[in-house]
Structure formats: structure tokens, C-alpha cells
Amino acid sequence: MKVLRPGTLGEARALIARPGHVAVGGGTVLQLGWASGATPPEALVDLSRLGLGDIAASADGGLTIGAAATLADIENDPQLSDTAPLLARAVRDIGAPGIRRLATLGGQIGWGAGCLLPALLALDARVFAAGSTDPVDMPLADWLAAPDGLVLSVTVPPQAPDATWTWRKIGLRAAFTPSVIAVAGLRSEASAALGAGGGPVPPRRLPVSEAAVAEGPEALRLALEAEIEAPDCIHRTGRYRARVAAAALTRGLFGTPRAPAAETSLKVPAAEPPPEGLRSLEGGPGGPEWHPRPDGRAKITGQAGYLTDARAPDMLVGRILRAGRPHARILSLDTSRAETLPGVAAVVTHADVPGLNAFGIMWQDQPALCHDVIRYEGDPVAAVAAVDEATAETALQAIEVVYEDLPVIASPAEALAEDATRLHQGGNLAAGFDLERGDVEAGFGAAAHIVEATYVTPRQMHVFLETEGGWCAPGDDGTLTVAVGGQHGGRDREQLARILDMPEERLHVITSPTGGGFGGKDELTVQPALALLALKAGRPVRLHLSRAESVLAGVKRNPMTIRMKTGCDADGRLLAQEVELVADCGAYASLSPAVAETALEHALGPYLAPALKTSGRLAYTNNGVGGAFRGFGANQMTFAIECQLDRLAALTGLDPVEIRRRNLRRPGMPGLMGHKVAGSERLAEMLAAAAASPLWSARAGPDGDPEGTGMALNFQGNGLGSLPQDDGEGELRLAADGAIEIASGLDEMGQGLATALQAVGAARLGCARSDIRPVYGDTQAAPDSGSTSASRGTFAAWSIARGAAPGFAEKVLALAADLTGVEATSLRLVPGGVAVAGTNSDAPIARFADLARHAGTALPRQKTAFAFPKTDYTDGNARFIHCYGATLARVAVDPVTGEVRLRALEMHTAAGPVIDLAAYLGQIEGGLIQGLGLTLTEDTLFREGRVLTTNLDAYMVPSIRDVAPSLRVTALEDLDADDPWGPRGVGELGIGAVTPAIANAVAAAIGGWPVAAPFSPEAILELATGSAAA
């Protein structure tokens, strides 16, 4: 592709007339097209040198806007808000600021699908264009119907000052969203002008509806629903588009319709005081508990050293060939053409795998490079390393693979059908779990109220901003360094050693820093292909997945369908609970069996019932790969049980707090499997904190939209559980430069491991945080501390400091005694060094740097080992230590669109002492917002084993406008007097109960419970207008 930059209009017109030449303004949409597979044109004719960007008053008192004016120019034009307030309002909803600065008005029109067009159409804008033969001056609507030539300018007449006007862009999230549909309307005594379009809806004026305006709102609404032609897309139906567009225009031009009355019978809990010791977590610079991140400075200066940012002159670029089909047999694989291309250094296939061609944390069923069968679109078939990206891409295309497509298993139901094609030798049932206790039938028979519903949770994607990648380099001594963002270097090394048939000692694995993990980098990602490439090429190779490839290849949250039947007596006491879980494993096991089992560990939430029956089925499908994701199944099951409790509350006439209080398990009771659990349970306190929330008495906003408050409790285990090996090591050591290093094989993914290591080290030793240098994420630099998952980090860090600090301090004090002549027993560690104990002075008599110099090569170091506390249960997996929470949501439901907007989120937490305020808050806030995404907007959609939401323009993570404007977090920090387990990890606590809190708030607002997350606005509208769900 060439970029041509003509200097005159004549040149530009001549160029555009050539085949394959496309005019471009800001070019912001073109890139989107290429990313989704469109072929770039032969030449781009860049119009930016033509001028054409002026905005000036037109003869009729309106504005003439040059085609090259950017949307930001229009947004910032001082005359616009007087001349055409509708346009001024609309332009703020197009793209985002960094896009509006590039995108031009001409581009919106030339593209033919810009979201701004409905506004321009309603305003009777005219296009002035250099037509193919003559100059053109015509209404925008006509030009759009038959585009002719190059748009030079657009004239917008002055908006009638007495006209009522409205604008609404309905999207997939609150801001910077593709358009579901956008509408613009003006109504005055004499006339009406209406426009609709955007996204897949062609922009049109709506003449029939304009004529219906005079007949009043209901006639207008019906006319609009009939006139707007809108197609379905993967996210919304055409019917929804037309319906909400009609409602938005009608509401905008005729005022607010009466919101449907809520039919909920949910009671609001009586106010009560919060539990003693609960404190609001707030902090900021200068506060006593507020410490900057040890890695902060590197990250704010662009020097953080992400493993995907490494560049070296001799580094090759690696790429992976993905199958691109969900289920197939490889008939032949020929890489010979790719191998001979100039600039290609290595091509690898399954034939290059020296060891076991399989990996997987639980069992090894996933090929490093496929040799016979493809089980999902992202399955890797081959990989190349070349001198640059373009050559690597060419080489990928030169690899010839012949496939025979096989029947696609697109859902667990298909997978578990009797005659289903088997995806693995052992069949399609990846794991099954059954539990029955007490007499469930008798329980339901005696119940006064029974509620039954089927809850669905999405295939959420982690969307770490740094996609999978890194670099790999062979050493001269037969070693191999693999530096790829991960969550457990020790286990990555073990898995790679098996694949490469190489002793672990020769593998050096670096896994930090990484730009987000959330569970999605727990399993191996690109390491096998990258390592094979580096070994074969004998040179360093880097490889970084594009977002599109990450969407295709990476693990996702296992989608779950949970049928739950719950019965209680007339007083709201649970009598029986029946749970049937069906989960989509995807093509390979990874950690999915453990996820399903963890979900079932929460089948009764933190409640008691005499009879319980659960079953779980995890099925292999061709839908990508499932695996670990923050919450690990617990949050999905919590969604179901916590909604069931509110449904029963409505039926029994109890409030949400009271029904939970009546059923809450009590400290000291065994866990769901009858297993022993650790003390420091704080469920009753969390419930009391929820009862005390001001959100119950929040007042509705001024727009009159229905609002409601909902709550949910949760608990989250720490550690891998009773079955897996779950221990680790760590070390304290004095470095030659005088820094005290606290070394742990855990990873810094953003969650604040470095902060935690500093905090626990300083607290145990008595030195300053700044004396401590955390060392992590590197198998050579730090001992194996186990995985950075399952909320393990806090306990691991705390255990390392606790275990190593006494021995290390003793060695440092002995060293100080040797240097200063003061007896070791009279010395203590203080910020900066060692001081004399028993004096009031904290002034060190020997600085750590002095001690390091004095030690020479005999620097003090102290290693320690720890084991995660486990419960006695071994028939299955169960957790021993937990943290607890209560989440409250205040929502408003938009009666026009069915969208749920968060007014406030509040979370109460009990996880022992807060070891670092900012990190703790960050984990809870981040977890809440990731849970908000799961609840309202996020789902990786598949059809017949093919991913439909291929990039971030279709997969909607929450933007800043989607988050709750008010976010409050509290902590109850005390532990039982005899609790030896220290602070709990809160990495997963925050995401645990957002979904049911929002669902219950929606029910409080509109009288019915959404059951399928993400909650589709279409379903919410049905709930709001239909009868209240039972």
C-alpha cells in the first residue's frame, strides 16, 4: 500500500479516480477495517494537505464546515453551541477524544456509516462536493444515497431556536462504543425532522415518522418502530434497535414517559449500626498508610521493562500459525516454502518438539504444536522466526496445511450427547462432580416456598492490556532463557522442561513484570512455540500476540449454566437446595476442572440447609480454551445463590439482610464438604455492615428512572486447596549494595506483589520499606514460591517474611556486632541500618551499606519454606482459609434502553490486617469493576466454534464512563485471637459478589431478576415491561 499526499484538489481528484485508490481524512476507521481482515487498498490518497478544514459562518446564518475539519475542531467551535446545539451535543459522543482529533467530517460522510450522520440529516445539512463531472450541492440525504466525487464541505443551517431537539447514541457500553443506533430529532410547531442510523443501521431521514409527530407521542413511537429498518448483529437484534430508537426519540421530543411501576415486594432492611472495627478505606499522598509503589517510577516513565518491550539488534521476530478452524484433522503440513524465504531463520512444527508434545497444569492434554487434530481456532500448528514482522507474516502464509474439517462441538449439550464426536480419547466429559446430603425431595416437599431459575455466566476474557508475549534466548552454555509474562515461573519451567526434554536447571524463566494476568497467564501461553523457535534458530526471538490473536488463542472464563432450585419454610429457613452445573471447558482442560469444583464448593454460599444435592458436568467443546480467571468459579455460583436468597426474601416478606441472617453458617461449623475451615469468619459482621449501608435509603436521581439497591455476600478461599501441592520458599538477603532483598518466585502483574513484599519485610525486620528491594518473577533470582494465583500472594509474602526475618535479623545483627563492637543482643534493625536497642534514638550506628561492605562475600541470607494451610478433606478439593465480603450496588435502569447504570458500588471486606492500604483498595476496586464488566457488557461470543468478538471493538470492557461514580470500600481487620494464618489475600474477593448485587438491585428497581450475564438490555426491557419474574 502506498500513501499519496496530493497538494492540490485537481491532483487529489485525479488520484482518486484511479482504481484501488481511496481518499482518506483522519484514517481512523481504515485501521479498524484492516484489523478485522479487510485488505488495505492499493493506495491511500491522504487529503490532509488540501486545507479544507475551515469552519465559517454561512450565508443563511448557519455554518459551513470544511470536509477536513476534525470532529474535535467541530466540538471546539465557539459558534456551534448557538447555531446547532444538536450537532454540538452529538459530536461529543463520536469516538473518543484521541479519535476526534484525527477523524474528519468528510470521513464520517465518505465512510457513509458515521454516528454523526443522523444529527446532520435531521439538521438538513447540505453537501458541497467536487463531483465526478460537475460541482455538486445537494442535501446530505441525497448525497448518501448516491455519493458523487469528493466532499469539500458541509453546510449546516441554523437550528430553529424554538425547536425541541434530542440526540441519543445507544451503544454497547457507556462511552467510546460502537453504535447500536443513534437518533436525532427536532420538533417545532410547524415541522419535525428525524434521523436515525449508525453502526449497522444505514443513516436515514424518517419522513413517515416526521409526519406522525403531529399526532402525538404514541403515534410517533409506533411510526418509528415501523419505519426504522435495523438489522440484527451479534450483540443486539434489529427489533431492539428500532424499539429503543423509537422510545428515545419519543421521550426526547415529548418528555419523560412514566416509568413502569416496580412490582418488587423486596423489603428494605432496617437501619442498624455497622460492626465495631469496620473502617472506610481511604487514603492519598501524605497519608500515614499510603506508600508509593516500588515499581511506580519505572512504570510512569516508560521504563518498566515489560518482557514484550525487549529489543536487541540480533533479535528475531516470532509468529505462530493458528489453525483458524475449530475442529479438523491435519492431513498434511508443508513448511518447505516458508523455510527457504530470505530472512526466515527458523520454522518449527510438532516434529521439532523433542519431549512431550503436551502441556496443562492439571493434566497434559494441550499440544505445544498440533500434530494430528485441531480442537479450537487458536490451536497452534507451526511457528516462524524471521528478521522482521513482515517477513514472519509472509512466512506464515507460505506454510501449507491441508485440513479435513470435523464436526464442531459448539456447546456442552452437544458435547454430552450420546453420539457426540469425541474431542479427546476419554470422551467429552472433562470432569463430573456429584454430592448428595440429606433428603432433598423431602425438603422440597416440606417447603413453603420454592424458587427455581437457571443462571448463565459469560465467557469473560481477561483483557490484560499487555497481551501474551516476551522473548527467549539460548545461552552459550546450553541454557535457555524464557522471558514471558506469567504467574508461576517454577511451574512454567517444569512444563517447558517436559516439552523441550531439557533439565530444569538449564532453563531460566522470567515472568515479571507483566501487564496484567487475572488468571489468564497462569497456564503456558506462547512459551512452547517461542522456546522451540529460539532453540532452532540459535538466536534470541521475541513474540507478542496481537489482540486479535490473543482473543483467538488465550484462555477465557468457563461459561456456566447453573440451574438452582431452593426451598425454604414459611420463616425463610432453607430446607433444600439442588444445583445442576454445566460448564464449558473449551478444547483443553487447563485449570477448568478445578474451576468447576470450586464453583460447586460455593453451591450453598455461606448458608445452611439440611438437604443438598449438587451435580457438575464440565464438557470439552471446540469453543476456545477455558481456564483460570479471578474468582475461579466462586463468583459464578455466588451469582446464583445470592439471587435465590433475594427471591425467597420477596416470597417470605423478609428483607435481604434478615433472610441471610436466618440462614447464615456460624463460625466453627464445618465447610460444605464437612471439612474443617479456619477461624476468623466474619460473615455475620459483613451482613451487619451491609445492613448499615446508606445505599438502602439512597434517593432516586432527577431523571426519574427506576432505581434499586441490592446486596450479596461472598467468601473466597485462599490457596490451591486440599489436593494440589501448595507450598513454597522465599529468602531474605543483604545485597552487596546494602539493599535488603526479599526474594519470592511470585509475580508482579500489577496487583502489588512488590508493595506487599516490601511491606511485610519492613514490618517484620523493623527497617524502612525503602531499605527493601523486592526480587520476584525470575527462577534464577528468587526461590519458587508457588503460583501467583488463588489469592496466594499475601499469605506467601507474609510467610516468607515471618519465616526468614528472625534468622536474617540475627545474622545481620551479628555482622553489625562484628563491625561496631557492640554486642548483638544490644542491637536492633531500624530504618537505614542497625541501632543500639534500648535507646530512644533510631539513628543507625551502622548502615546496611556499611554492613554489606563489611560482609564482603559472606553476605547474610536466610531462606525459608512455607506450606499453605490445608483442610483435612481429600475426597475432593476444598479450601481452608477464606476471606469474606458483602457487596452493595445501587443501580438505575434506563426505561428507554434497558441499560443498567451503576450509581454506587460499596464493598465491605474482612480479610485480616491490611498490609498495604493502596494495594488492598486497588485489588477490591479493580475486582469490582472487572465484575461489573462480567455483569453488564463482557462476553466472548462464539458461533459454531468460531469467535465472533474478535477484538476490543466488539468485546466491551468497562470504559471510565461505565464504572460507578461512587465506590466505597471498608475493611474489618481483626482476626480471632488464636488465628495463626495472618492477613488473607484479596485478589479475588472484589469480583465475588458484584453480579448478584447488581442483579438484586435491578430486581429492586424493576421487579424481576436478570438471569443471564452479561445482562442484555433487551432482556432487562422485557423484565421491566413484562410481569415480574418469580
Site for another protein, residues 167 to 206, rule: CB under 8 A: 175-176
Shortest Cβ 55–another protein spacing (Å): 16
Shortest Cβ 284–another protein spacing (Å): 7
- Which one, 367 or 926, has the nearer CB to another protein? 926
Cell of 984: 488473607
Shortest Cβ 1002–another protein spacing (Å): 20
In angstroms, rounded to a whole number, what is the distance separating the alpha carbons of residues 333 and 396?
Answer: 12
Interaction pattern, residues 377-416, with another protein; x per rule: CB under 8 A: -----------xxx--------------------------
In angstroms, rounded to a whole number, what is the distance separating the alpha carbons of residues 884 and 905?
Answer: 17
- Which one, 301 or 857, has the nearer CB to another protein? 301
- Which one, 95 or 833, has the nearer CB to another protein? 95
Site for another protein, residues 600 to 659, rule: CB under 8 A: none
In angstroms, rounded to a whole number, what is the distance separating the alpha carbons of residues 144 and 140?
Answer: 6
CB 730 within 8 A of CB 768: no
CB 592 within 8 A of CB 583: yes
In angstroms, rounded to a whole number, what is the distance separating the alpha carbons of residues 381 and 369?
Answer: 5
Shortest Cβ 25–another protein spacing (Å): 10
- Which one, 412 or 627, has the nearer CB to another protein? 627
Site for another protein, residues 909 to 928, rule: CB under 8 A: 918, 921-922, 925-926, 928
In angstroms, rounded to a whole number, what is the distance separating the alpha carbons of residues 370 and 142?
Answer: 54
Interaction pattern, residues 513-542, with another protein; x per rule: CB under 8 A: xxxx-x------------------------
Where would I find the H helices in 18-165? 28-35, 71-76, 80-83, 85-91, 97-100, 105-111, 117-122, 140-145
Distances (CA, A) of 63 to 99, 122, 205, 714, 961: 23, 15, 21, 57, 31
- The answer to whether residue 467 forms part of the interface with another protein (CB under 8 A) is yes
Where would I find the H helices in 541-633? 547-553, 592-601
Which three-class secondary structure state does DSSP give residue 73?
Answer: helix
In angstroms, rounded to a whole number, what is the distance separating the alpha carbons of residues 875 and 25?
Answer: 65
- Which one, 286 or 838, has the nearer CB to another protein? 286
| Contact residue for another protein among 952, 1012, 1019, 1029 (CB under 8 A) | 952
Shortest Cβ 27–another protein spacing (Å): 7
- The answer to whether residue 101 forms part of the interface with another protein (CB under 8 A) is yes
Residue 126 burial by Cβ neighbours in a 10 Å radius (0-12, 13-18, 19+):
buried
- The answer to whether residue 104 forms part of the interface with another protein (CB under 8 A) is no
- The answer to whether residue 929 forms part of the interface with another protein (CB under 8 A) is yes
| Contact residue for another protein among 367, 412, 745, 752 (CB under 8 A) | 752
Estimate to the nearest angstrom the gap between the alpha carbon of 127 and the chain centroid: 43
Distances (CA, A) of 591 to 554, 586, 606: 13, 11, 24
- The answer to whether residue 295 forms part of the interface with another protein (CB under 8 A) is yes
- The answer to whether residue 948 forms part of the interface with another protein (CB under 8 A) is no
Shortest Cβ 832–another protein spacing (Å): 22
| Contact residue for another protein among 967, 1012, 1028, 1029 (CB under 8 A) | 967
- Which one, 299 or 437, has the nearer CB to another protein? 299
- The answer to whether residue 207 forms part of the interface with another protein (CB under 8 A) is no
Angle between helices 634-652 and 592-601 (to 10 degrees): 30
- The answer to whether residue 547 forms part of the interface with another protein (CB under 8 A) is yes
Amino acid at 5: R
| Contact residue for another protein among 17, 38, 57, 96 (CB under 8 A) | 96
Shortest Cβ 482–another protein spacing (Å): 19
| Contact residue for another protein among 580, 953, 976, 1022 (CB under 8 A) | 953
CB 128 within 8 A of CB 154: yes
In angstroms, rounded to a whole number, what is the distance separating the alpha carbons of residues 732 and 774?
Answer: 10
Shortest Cβ 48–another protein spacing (Å): 7
CB 995 within 8 A of CB 639: yes
- The answer to whether residue 951 forms part of the interface with another protein (CB under 8 A) is yes
| Contact residue for another protein among 18, 239, 279, 297 (CB under 8 A) | 297
Site for another protein, residues 15 to 34, rule: CB under 8 A: 26-28, 31-32, 34
Which three-class secondary structure state does DSSP give residue 865?
Answer: strand
Residues facing residue 138 across a β-bridge: 127
Shortest Cβ 463–another protein spacing (Å): 5
CB 915 within 8 A of CB 983: yes
- The answer to whether residue 113 forms part of the interface with another protein (CB under 8 A) is no
CB 791 within 8 A of CB 718: yes
How crowded is residue 261: how many other Cβ atoms within 10 Å of its Cβ?
9
Q: Which stretch binds another protein (CB under 8 A): 282-290, 348-356, 407-415, 669-677?
A: 282-290
CB 513 within 8 A of CB 775: no
- Which one, 101 or 854, has the nearer CB to another protein? 101
- Which one, 98 or 427, has the nearer CB to another protein? 98
| Contact residue for another protein among 645, 749, 812, 911 (CB under 8 A) | 749
Q: Which residue has the cell 503436551?
A: 358
- The answer to whether residue 351 forms part of the interface with another protein (CB under 8 A) is no
| Contact residue for another protein among 13, 251, 267, 299 (CB under 8 A) | 299
Site for another protein, residues 675 to 714, rule: CB under 8 A: none
In angstroms, rounded to a whole number, what is the distance separating the alpha carbons of residues 195 and 115?
Answer: 11
Query: What per-residue string of b and e applies to 479-497 under the rule 16 or more CB within 10 Å gives b?
Result: ebbbbbbbbbbbbbbbbbb
In angstroms, rounded to a whole number, what is the distance separating the alpha carbons of residues 315 and 602?
Answer: 48
CB 115 within 8 A of CB 169: yes
CB 555 within 8 A of CB 523: yes
Shortest Cβ 861–another protein spacing (Å): 30
**Phi, psi at 628, each rounded to 5°:** -65, 140
Q: Nearest to residue 144, comparing CAs of 99, 185, 87, 205?
A: 205
Shortest Cβ 347–another protein spacing (Å): 22
Interaction pattern, residues 302-321, with another protein; x per rule: CB under 8 A: xxx-x--xxx----------
- Which one, 672 or 757, has the nearer CB to another protein? 757
How crowded is residue 82: how many other Cβ atoms within 10 Å of its Cβ?
12
Q: Which stretch binds another protein (CB under 8 A): 287-295, 447-455, 499-507, 862-870?
A: 287-295
Q: Which residue has the cell 450496588?
A: 889
Site for another protein, residues 31 to 60, rule: CB under 8 A: 31-32, 34-36, 40, 44, 46, 48
- The answer to whether residue 292 forms part of the interface with another protein (CB under 8 A) is yes
Shortest Cβ 3–another protein spacing (Å): 4
In angstroms, rounded to a whole number, what is the distance separating the alpha carbons of residues 625 and 380?
Answer: 13
Q: Which stretch binds another protein (CB under 8 A): 105-113, 508-516, 575-583, 885-893?
A: 508-516
Shortest Cβ 83–another protein spacing (Å): 18
Residues facing residue 594 across a β-bridge: none
- Which one, 17 or 465, has the nearer CB to another protein? 465
Amino acid at 408: V
- The answer to whether residue 102 forms part of the interface with another protein (CB under 8 A) is yes
Site for another protein, residues 970 to 999, rule: CB under 8 A: none
Shortest Cβ 378–another protein spacing (Å): 16
- The answer to whether residue 233 forms part of the interface with another protein (CB under 8 A) is no
- The answer to whether residue 293 forms part of the interface with another protein (CB under 8 A) is yes
**Residue 214 per-residue DSSP state:** G
Distances (CA, A) of 542 to 491, 507, 537: 21, 17, 12
Shortest Cβ 342–another protein spacing (Å): 16
Shortest Cβ 885–another protein spacing (Å): 15
